[in-house]
Amino acid sequence: MKKTSFLSLVLLGLIGSLSVASAMAQQVVANSGVAISDISKGSLGDILNGRATTLPDGSAVTIVIARQSAATDKMLPDLSGGQGIDQFQSSWKRLVYVGKGKMPLFVADNKELLDKVASTPGAIGLAESGAAPGVKVIAVK
């Protein structure tokens, strides 16, 4: 009985630590020149859905999305009204077609996302990790 309880506690601890590590791995990142250090979930959703074309401080924003990224898979549906990557791209194509937005930049993976965010003034993206020169993490409140 004691062995079972001990093993259960160990497994719960491992699962909990994996969940925390997984949750911490997805981040909103921005070009280091972006003036804001945090953003509300609503403002970020407005930007991702094309309802806002500027950051809360009024500066222009460029969205960068990685096609194959755990951050995109986990964060995008939550922030864009349940849309996966294909629906997100289709929505943006419609916005661009009617002249209401500029297409986000789509890249292959997290490394390319970090490189593109670092080299694009005003860029934001959903990353697996924000550790890269020229990139900073933006807190979502």
At residue 80, the 3 state secondary structure works out as coil
Answer left, alpha or beta for residue 50, where phi above 0 means left and psi between -120 and 50 means alpha: left
pLDDT at 107: 96
pLDDT at 2: 54
The percent of residues above 70 in pLDDT, for the chain, comes to 82
| Partners of residue 54 on adjacent β-strands | 60
pLDDT in tens, 46-58: 999 999 999 999 9
Q: Looking at the 3D structure of the chain, how many domains does it have?
A: 1
Q: In what order do the strands lie in the sheet with 135-140?
A: 38-39, 135-140, 27-31, 123-127, 62-66, 105-107
pLDDT at 51: 94
CATH at residue 36? 3.40.190.10
What are the distances in angstroms from CA 2 to CA 8, 13, 16, 25, 99? Answer: 10, 17, 21, 35, 66
pLDDT at 17: 36
pLDDT in tens, 69-125: 888 889 999 998 999 999 999 999 999 999 998 999 999 999 999 999 999 999 999
Among candidates 56, 117, 52, which has minimal Cα distance to 80? 52
Average of per-residue pLDDT values in the chain: 84
Q: How far is it, in rounded angstroms, from Cα 55 to Cα 121? A: 12
Is 118 part of a structural domain of the chain? Answer: yes
- The boundaries of the domain holding residue 60 are 26-140
Is 9 part of a structural domain of the chain? Answer: no
